[in-house]
Amino acid sequence: MIYLDYSATSPVDKKVLDTYNNVSVNFIGNSNSLHKLGIEAKKLENEATAQIKKIMKLKDEEVIYTSCSSESNNLAIKGVALRNQKKGMHIITTNLEHSSVYGSISYLQTQGFEIDIVKTNEYGLVDLENLKELLREDTILVTIIEVNSETGVKQNIEEIALLLKNYNCYFHVDATQAIGKIRTDYTNVDLISFAAHKFFGPKGIAVLIKKKNVLIENLIHGGKSTTKYRSGTPALPLIVSISKALRIIDENIDIYYNYIKELNDLLVKGLKKYKNVTINSNEYSIPHILNISVINIKPETFQHALENYEIYISTQSACSANNPVSKSVLEVTKNEKRASYSIRISIAGITTVEEIDQFLIAFDSCYKELNIGWFMRLIRVSSSWCVSCIITKKAWDELKEIYDCIEYDYDMDEELLKNYNVGNILPVIIIEQNNIEVKRIIGEKSKKEILEIINNIGVKIWKK
């Protein structure tokens, strides 16, 4: 099994899992309790929080524990908006955000908030001049993702934060795809979201870092926790685990980065040789994420073809996979076709060179099996019937010169074909080099008759 979907989630580090189990067994007290067991639990919780703040070089910021980055993003965006709406109701974001950001701002629009989308340049980077133009006296929040989960494009958070220091608004950064992969100075950032499962921690625990002077409205009411902004019994095993996972990844982050860059270079070199493959990630993308488009084949088809080799990649962000056109790839490439055929390969420090080599071999096989550049066509070979088949473009062009053909550029199934008044639909034929295989017979003609007809057409063309 070769796992290349680390941007969706990562396996739990065994050391982190051991920590989780140890805390679960040996620290049974509620850290809000005043008895000895509660005090011991609270002490461990405070130590875990202090370690997170030390690693991230935080001083007066507050660490709020949540269940996932989606919750952290919701708490940051809705929390700031609802608490500060008397000051203003204007928010700025980008077209590169996680779906939880769009969900939050869409909700706020129904409450009367005004949203502006800042422009990006040809690399997908925020246009700082346009950002300045959009900022207003009633702007209360700018929320920008640090690393886009599909293309890997990294925004210059430090530069944006310095710019926003001159304005009276809060700056929220969704750092979910950045923490554990790259180092960033968050000194001038007001709110930061990230989750443990992106850097070999357990699922179910995330963080919202908030500067103490930032006022937000809590979304969960009632109950006591580590903070008034997020109620609920502190999940001590998860809190200690995210701290442990962050420490382990931070100790190796520079070594991993250089190694992952080498793996990324191998991938790019191996994939650039294909005519119908385009690289969507660019020089501003972190090496952990490589986005490509395999033109003229559905991303899900290629994904499932690789599954046959026990290789696992992603078509889009796992949280926004219902849209056939990738909004993020479209924003970076400005090309709708590339955005419609994009797939994501994401790697980590535990990915091996051998896995990359095996992936490229499997990719080559899938590329040939699916015969990228072949098209589904309807070919009229007489006035009374037509053939549905897959052929190469070269063969199709040769057929068009010989026969009166009708062309359709989309995939077809039996029901769709029946709706077209082009005669009786007979077989579905797959032509692969010199081999012809009848996959499905629709109509009354026998397989032998069909093969005789196709033999007079297809094979002669292929043998030219």
Instruction: Give 227-244 pLDDT, tens digit per residue.
Output: 778 888 899 999 999 999
Beta bridge partners of 172: 143, 191
- 158 and 263 inside one domain: no
- 168 and 295 inside one domain: no
More confident: 30 or 407: 30
Contacts of residue 219, defined as CB under 8 A and 6 or more positions apart, other chains included, come to 74, 75, 78, 79, 230
Q: Rounded mean pLDDT of the chain?
A: 83
- 387 and 326 inside one domain: no
**For the chain, percent of residues with pLDDT exceeding 90:** 69
The residue among 38, 44, 50, 52 whose CA lies nearest residue 20 is 44
Position 370 pLDDT exceeds 80: no
Contacts of residue 106, defined as CB under 8 A and 6 or more positions apart, other chains included, come to none
Q: What pLDDT band is residue 372 in, cutting at 50, 70 and 90?
A: very low
CB-neighbour burial class of residue 430 (10 A; exposed 0-12, middle 13-18, buried 19+): middle
More confident: 20 or 323: 20
Q: What pLDDT band is residue 458 in, cutting at 50, 70 and 90?
A: very low
Instruction: Give 393-440 pLDDT, tens digit per residue.
Output: 444 455 455 444 433 333 333 443 343 333 333 333 433 333 333 333
Lowest mean pLDDT among 52-61, 211-220, 448-457: 448-457
Instruction: Enter the tokens of residue 184.
Output: 């960033």
Position 388 pLDDT exceeds 70: no
Lowest mean pLDDT among 42-46, 50-54, 95-99, 367-371: 367-371
More confident: 426 or 247: 247
Position 353 pLDDT exceeds 50: yes
The whole-angstrom separation of Cα 136 and Cα 19 is 48
Position 451 pLDDT exceeds 60: no
- 216 and 291 inside one domain: no
The residue with tokens 């703040």 is 53
Lowest mean pLDDT among 114-118, 123-127, 302-306, 381-385: 381-385
Q: What pLDDT band is residue 385 in, cutting at 50, 70 and 90?
A: very low
- 196, 225, 250 - which closes a domain: 250
* pLDDT at residue 69 in the model: 97
The whole-angstrom separation of Cα 297 and Cα 367 is 10
* pLDDT at residue 422 in the model: 31
The whole-angstrom separation of Cα 88 and Cα 169 is 9
Q: What is the mean pLDDT of residues 352-367?
A: 95
- 309 and 296 inside one domain: yes
Position 445 pLDDT exceeds 70: no
* pLDDT at residue 432 in the model: 35
- 363 and 398 inside one domain: no
- 262 and 365 inside one domain: yes
- 327, 343, 370 - which closes a domain: 370
Position 189 pLDDT exceeds 90: yes
Q: What pLDDT band is residue 448 in, cutting at 50, 70 and 90?
A: low
Residue from 319, 366, 386, 389 carrying the catalytic annotation: 319
The residue among 112, 102, 115 whose CA lies nearest residue 82 is 112
- 347, 370, 393 - which closes a domain: 370
* pLDDT at residue 155 in the model: 98
Q: What pLDDT band is residue 258 in, cutting at 50, 70 and 90?
A: very high
| Amino acid of residue 435 | N
- For residue 260, is it within any domain? yes
The whole-angstrom separation of Cα 7 and Cα 149 is 7
- For residue 4, is it within any domain? no
Q: Tell me if residue 169 is catalytic.
A: no
- For residue 46, is it within any domain? yes
- For residue 288, is it within any domain? yes
> How many domains is the chain partitioned into structurally?
3
Lowest mean pLDDT among 83-87, 142-146, 384-388: 384-388
Q: Is 232 left (phi over 0), alpha (psi -120 to 50) or beta?
A: left
- CATH code at position 276: 3.90.1150.10
- 200 and 274 inside one domain: no
The whole-angstrom separation of Cα 189 and Cα 170 is 8
3-state secondary structure of 174: strand
Q: Give the domain extent around 410.
A: 374-462
The whole-angstrom separation of Cα 424 and Cα 439 is 17
**For the chain, percent of residues with pLDDT exceeding 70:** 77
* pLDDT at residue 411 in the model: 37
- For residue 179, is it within any domain? yes
The whole-angstrom separation of Cα 182 and Cα 199 is 11
- 109 and 235 inside one domain: yes
Q: What pLDDT band is residue 122 in, cutting at 50, 70 and 90?
A: very high
The whole-angstrom separation of Cα 104 and Cα 117 is 14
Q: Are 388 and 429 in contact (CB under 8 A)?
A: yes
- 216 and 346 inside one domain: no
Position 282 pLDDT exceeds 90: yes
* pLDDT at residue 50 in the model: 95
- 17 and 91 inside one domain: yes
Strand order in the sheet with 277-279: 277-279, 289-294, 342-346
Characterize the bridge pairing of strands 435-441 and 311-312.
Answer: unpaired
- For residue 6, is it within any domain? no
- 157 and 209 inside one domain: yes
Position 453 pLDDT exceeds 70: no
Q: What is the mean pLDDT of residues 242-255?
A: 97
* pLDDT at residue 319 in the model: 54
- CATH code at position 204: 3.40.640.10
- For residue 5, is it within any domain? no
- For residue 194, is it within any domain? yes
* pLDDT at residue 371 in the model: 57
Q: What pLDDT band is residue 295 in, cutting at 50, 70 and 90?
A: confident
The residue with tokens 């007290």 is 29
Instruction: Give 302-319 pLDDT, tens digit per residue.
Output: 999 999 999 999 997 545
